[in-house]
Amino acid sequence: MSFFGQEQPGQNQADALEDVKRIARVWFDEVMNSKDLTAIDRVYAEDYEYHGPHGAGAIGRGGAKAIAERLIASMPDRVATVELQLAEGSMVATRWVSRGTPTQPLMGVPPDGNPVEVHGITISTIVDGLIARDWEMVDVVRDAG
């Protein structure tokens, strides 16, 4: 953005930070909510690494797709909401919540027809415009109704 035709100090850096936040939001907006697994091919690195709770992990775009398929199948009515994002350099911290009703066991929660909330924080590293790594912590609230 400019003021009287001049670039504002830090504007390029602010734009870059918004770009990395936008890339990190693709998982929530396009993959989880729109169920568009092709978005993974657009924004995940070929050698992507996922480091999740309890030692869960995945490698590559195929690994990210497998996680997405499992999550979508376990809670098809899931709606993910990004509540907060903070970015510094190439790293983005995203605080999020997913709400829905499990139809398959989900992180120790049986598919008993009761809605749940899954709260999490994902720290993503963006390299060359692609998500290279995610570290994630989650907490399941069993009675979200």
The domain locations on the chain are 9-141
Q: Which two tokens stand for residue 106?
A: 């989900």
| The listed CATH number (3.30.70.2190, 3.10.450.50, 3.40.190.10, 3.40.462.10) that belongs to domain 9-141 | 3.10.450.50
What pLDDT score was predicted for residue 74?
A: 93
Angle at the Cα of 17 (from 12 to 21), degrees rounded to 5?
145
Q: Identify any residues that bridge with 126 across adjacent strands, giving them in sequence order.
A: 131
Query: Which pLDDT score, from 0 to 100, does residue 144 have?
Result: 56
Q: Helix, strand, coil proportions of the chain in percent (round to 5)?
A: 30, 40, 25
The distance from CA 66 to its chain's CA centroid, rounded to whole angstroms, is 14
Residue 30 DSSP label: I
**What's the predicted TM-score (pTM) here?**
0.87
pLDDT tens track, the chain, 145 positions: 444 455 555 568 888 899 999 999 999 999 999 999 999 999 999 999 999 988 888 999 999 999 999 999 999 999 999 999 999 999 999 999 999 999 998 778 889 999 999 999 999 999 999 999 999 999 988 765 5
Token representation of residue 94:
């995203």
